[in-house]
Structure 1
Amino acid sequence: MTGATMLAAALLFPTLAHAQAQNGLSNLFGGIFSGSNPAPSQALPGGAQPWSGEDGASGHPLMTATAIREAAANFDNCVAAMWPDAARRGITQENFQRFTAGLSPDLRIMDLLDSQPEFTKSIWDYLDILVNDNRLAKGREILAKYKAQFDATEKAYGVDRYIVAAIWGIESNYSTQMGDRSVLQSTATLACIGRRQAYFKDEFLSALEILNRGDLNPEQMRGSWAGAFGPTQFMPTAFKRYAVDGDGDGRRDVVDDPSDLIASTANNLKKDGWQAGQTWGYEVVVPKGFNYMLADRAKVMTIAQWEKLGITRPSQQPFTHPGEKAYLLAPAGAEGPGFLMLQNYRVIMKYNPAEAYALAIGHFADRLRGGQPFVQPWPRQERELSRAERLELQQLLSQRGFYKGTPDGQFGGQTREALRNFQASIGAPADGFASSDMLERLRGR
């Protein structure tokens, strides 16, 4: 939930700073978001894979195979040493001992923590996967089945039911793909082993608080490798901030109680700044010759100002509120559709800060309320660059003086800005879209 970017133009991948952003999507895509690791030769009982036994790809000293083994050997002591912190959070000693008894590290998580995807998918491929007829049909069933709960939530929180339903559908395919790892085991592993121990110590202790209070039981707290759980993928710390008792039964059950799930997800969005009665954004037509240096999250203008620059809706419908402030997103560059993004889009990105995810949520919500598919075509002839090609592109931009960071094959805002400046220098649309053609032009061929 409060959700992390690693695809062309910083669009598609969540970062581990918001670990759960990867989780629900990993469940849906069967590993696309968790990258590729050498397949171990032998599987563990229950179909789980063992740790590869290799150093992590990040090169972090705590991710070497030796460091991982040493930390794993000290796992019991590490967990026991967290008792004073647990006590300060009001967790009883009896519950601390009960919930930590028998915990063992899941070292396979170390491979997932440092995975490096070799190939990525385009934004249009992700939208095809996420917003499909089967999920739309299921979403409409959910909206009808829980109409009373959605009615109550909209009245209490002012958050659009279709957005909540879209998050439910995309995060867990309506509770059918939530992950099956123990949240306690995963967060304890990450709290004691690897490069994100401080972050996950808070998640582990928060998970213990949830169990100590009695909102959930350990069997309900099963989810992704990084600890996100439930149909809308709460991290334990996000649960503490946003979970509410929607039906007044004294528990905040975001796993099996639809009232609590719907209300808690809406409460998250409301607290993050959701504007009641407003949309998330608009598909727009960007005119030929447009200055794509303006397509940037930091460059906010009123819709009326964008209209003066030639931005229109593909249907030629007027914009509802010309005074609203928006920024222009061009996720596929000059060859694809543009989007004017409003405040509620930024709120969705607080839930999961990947632009493709937020675009999918907004579009899925519109489709659930009866809207149509996007009008303009995507440049489906383009292919996404492999990790080796992304690394090469950064290296070539660096050699030409455009990229100042350390090439790592992961595209973020700095890479996009460098690519835009290169494109401007050669008279191409400065849209920051990392196409194979741009790579060839950087190669000088």
Structure 2
Amino acid sequence: MVLRFVTALAALVALATSVAAQSRGDTEARFRTFLENDIRAEAARAGVSGQTFAAAFSGVSLDWDLPDLVAPGSAPPAERRQSQAEFRSPAAYFSEQSLQGLASSGRSLAQRYQPVLQQIEARYGVPGHFLVAIWGRESGFGQAAIPHSAIRVLATKAFMSTRPDLFRRELIAALQILERGDISPAAMKSSWAGAMGQPQFLPSSYLEYAVDFDGDGRRDIWNSVPDALASIANYLAQKGWQRGRDWGFEVVIPDGVSCAQEGPDRARTIAEWEQIGISRISGNAFPEHERRGAGMMLVPAGRHGPEFIVTPNFYVFKEYNNSDNYALFVGNLGDRIAYGSGGFRGSWGNVGTMLRSDIATMQRSLEGAGYDVGGADGLPGFKTRRSIGEWQARAGRAPTCFPDRDLVSVIR
């Protein structure tokens, strides 16, 4: 009896394996048809030659190990229940060990490439220490492993991912790069998401912002440090970097000044912020030229963490990666590289771990009361933070401008 059961079980496993192999083989065949019938014609309309197309897809198969794949004809997997996703204090993002290590390497590299960085700053207006900071954050100064074939990643995701239209556009852009001859298909390496080279540009960003700064006739963001750094600078410059201005200043916001004044749409001159009692936590005065310029309040953890007045350049950092924490990280890392300064002086309070579903419930309640929270996504962006602060003030509470467990049961 046991032998018959084992034999039957082995037969079932073999059958399942065979069916899976056939299914995968069928999908691979459909993938080749997709490339030949759909992508080839679109690439040709975009100026990609048949020779370039053939070289790009020679031997390319689906990469089944990538995340977020959806087999053609299948329904997308059910999204992870929001109640299972956690939101933590921003403190977890700012690893002091990581920042110190990047700053140490960054200072050495900034000195090594000083002549190039000076030339880049003269052309684009972006200080070199911020370029080095982004370089370090994105690819560990070019040392991080970027192992994937960009063409294979983008083709796989264009065929069977949760965002096929996005990756289809990026795949065509990647083929246009190959057509221009800047890189070979084998050398066009990317992350699992298709971000390429040392600056981690998507192909469309490469086409728009990558530059040849070392003068060899190719825009090589994979192997040329001058090209990589200048491409980052060109990106920031075209996104609106204001020459001569800093990214921001850590400040002290007095208790009598509401934290619910955050956001780029509530800008004042830094002198006006100063007039209502906001001062630099270092005790130094704001530079005079900065006092005349626009500044925005930023409280990424509300009253539970460091507080800032940031300039428009902070939001240019966010164009590179749309995250307050990312922009603060590269701003602080750049300061460490340039000035040897350390971490933020204000401490990140322990606000505990919350479920994103609880924050989303709070956001929906605030929306129902007429507040603009920027969408009920379970993540407290500046519109959610200031809406919480405004609600707290109207309820007779001291504004903290940040979600916590107590507020979940109150804001309904």
Residue number in structure 1 paired with 2:258 = 291
Instruction: Report if aligned partners of 1:143, 1:165 keep a CA contact under 8 Å in 2.
Output: yes
Deviation at 1:356, TM superposition (A): 0.7
Matched ranges for 1:335-350 at <5 A: 335-350=304-319
Q: 2:174 aligns with which of 203, 207, 218?
A: 207
Q: Residues of 2 paired with 1:237 and 1:311: CA distance?
A: 41
Q: Residues of 2 paired with 1:259 and 1:211: CA distance?
A: 21
Residue number in structure 2 paired with 1:311 = 278
Q: 1:91 to 1:386 in 2, by over 3 A?
A: same
| Counterpart check, 1:83 vs 2:40 | yes
Task: Read off the aligned partner of 1:258 and give its amino acid letter.
Answer: V
| Counterpart check, 1:377 vs 2:333 | no
Identity %: 33
Task: Read off the aligned partner of 2:146 and give its amino acid letter.
Answer: G
Report Cα offsets for 1:410-434 as digits up to 9, x if no partner: 4446644553443234323444312
Deviation at 1:189, TM superposition (A): 1.9
Based on CA coordinates, which of the two structures has the bigger radius of gyration? Answer: 2
Task: Read off the aligned partner of 2:226 and give its amino acid letter.
Answer: S
Residue number in structure 1 paired with 2:301 = 332
User: Which protein, 1 or 2, shows the higher relative CO under an 8 Å CA cutoff with sep ≥ 6?
Assistant: 1
Deviation at 1:169, TM superposition (A): 0.7
Residue number in structure 2 paired with 1:124 = 91
Q: Residues of 2 paired with 1:73 and 1:122: CA distance?
A: 47
Q: 1:271 aligns with which of 238, 242, 245?
A: 238
Residue number in structure 2 paired with 1:359 = 328
Q: 1:416 to 1:213 in 2, by over 3 A?
A: same
Instruction: Report if aligned partners of 2:263, 2:383 keep a CA contact under 8 Å in 1.
Output: no
Q: 1:148 to 1:198 in 2, by over 3 A?
A: same
Q: 1:183 to 1:438 in 2, by over 3 A?
A: same
Instruction: Report if aligned partners of 1:119, 1:386 keep a CA contact under 8 Å in 2.
Output: yes
Residue number in structure 2 paired with 1:184 = 151
Between Structure 1 and Structure 2, which shows a larger proportion of helix residues? 2
**Corresponding residue pairs, total:** 378
Residue number in structure 2 paired with 1:165 = 132
Q: 2:194 aligns with which of 223, 227, 234?
A: 227
Q: Residues of 1 paired with 2:176 and 2:371: CA distance?
A: 48
Q: Residues of 1 paired with 2:237 and 2:373: CA distance?
A: 38
Task: Read off the aligned partner of 1:86 and give its amino acid letter.
Answer: A
Instruction: Report if aligned partners of 2:90, 2:325 keep a CA contact under 8 Å in 1.
Output: yes
| Range that drifts further, 152-161 or 230-239 | 152-161
Q: Residues of 2 paired with 1:69 and 1:389: CA distance?
A: 43
Report Cα offsets for 1:46-93 as digits up to 9, x if no partner: xxxxxxx9xxxxxxxxxxxx9x99977632222221112211222110
Residue number in structure 1 paired with 2:378 = 409
Instruction: Report if aligned partners of 1:289, 1:429 keep a CA contact under 8 Å in 2.
Output: no
Residue number in structure 2 paired with 1:104 = 61
Q: Which runs of 5+ in 1 are unaligned?
A: 1-52, 54-65
Q: Residues of 2 paired with 1:136 and 1:112: CA distance?
A: 37
Q: Residues of 2 paired with 1:300 and 1:222: CA distance?
A: 41
Deviation at 1:153, TM superposition (A): 1.3
Q: Residues of 2 paired with 1:219 and 1:143: CA distance?
A: 30
Instruction: Report if aligned partners of 1:149, 1:258 keep a CA contact under 8 Å in 2.
Output: no
Q: Secondary structure at the match of 2:317?
A: helix
Matched ranges for 1:28-177 at <5 A: 74-80=30-36, 81-111=38-68, 118-128=85-95, 132-177=99-144
Instruction: Report if aligned partners of 2:89, 2:350 keep a CA contact under 8 Å in 1.
Output: no
Q: 1:87 to 1:112 in 2, by over 3 A?
A: closer
Q: Residues of 2 paired with 1:106 and 1:85: CA distance?
A: 22
Task: Read off the aligned partner of 1:434 and give its amino acid letter.
Answer: P
Q: 1:355 to 1:112 in 2, by over 3 A?
A: farther
Report Cα offsets for 1:329-354 as digits up to 9, x if no partner: 01111232211111211211111111
Residue number in structure 2 paired with 1:301 = 268
Deviation at 1:393, TM superposition (A): 3.9
TM-score by length of 2: 0.82
Task: Read off the aligned partner of 1:91 and give its amino acid letter.
Answer: V
Q: Residues of 2 paired with 1:416 and 1:71: CA distance?
A: 46
Instruction: Report if aligned partners of 1:337, 1:376 keep a CA contact under 8 Å in 2.
Output: yes
Instruction: Report if aligned partners of 2:154, 2:170 keep a CA contact under 8 Å in 1.
Output: yes
Q: Secondary structure at the match of 1:188?
A: helix
Matched ranges for 1:379-394 at <5 A: 379-394=348-363
| Counterpart check, 1:439 vs 2:408 | yes
Q: Secondary structure at the match of 1:349?
A: helix
Deviation at 1:438, TM superposition (A): 2.5
Task: Read off the aligned partner of 1:424 and give its amino acid letter.
Answer: A
Q: Secondary structure at the match of 1:109?
A: coil
Instruction: Report if aligned partners of 1:178, 1:231 keep a CA contact under 8 Å in 2.
Output: no
Q: Residues of 2 paired with 1:412 and 1:381: CA distance?
A: 18
Deviation at 1:327, TM superposition (A): 0.8
Q: Which runs of 5+ in 2 are unaligned?
A: 1-19, 71-78
Q: 1:233 to 1:406 in 2, by over 3 A?
A: closer
* RMSD over equivalenced CA pairs, Å: 3.0
Q: 1:342 to 1:418 in 2, by over 3 A?
A: closer
TM-score by length of 1: 0.76
Instruction: Report if aligned partners of 1:119, 1:384 keep a CA contact under 8 Å in 2.
Output: yes
| Range that drifts further, 303-312 or 118-127 | 118-127
Q: 1:247 aligns with which of 204, 214, 217?
A: 214
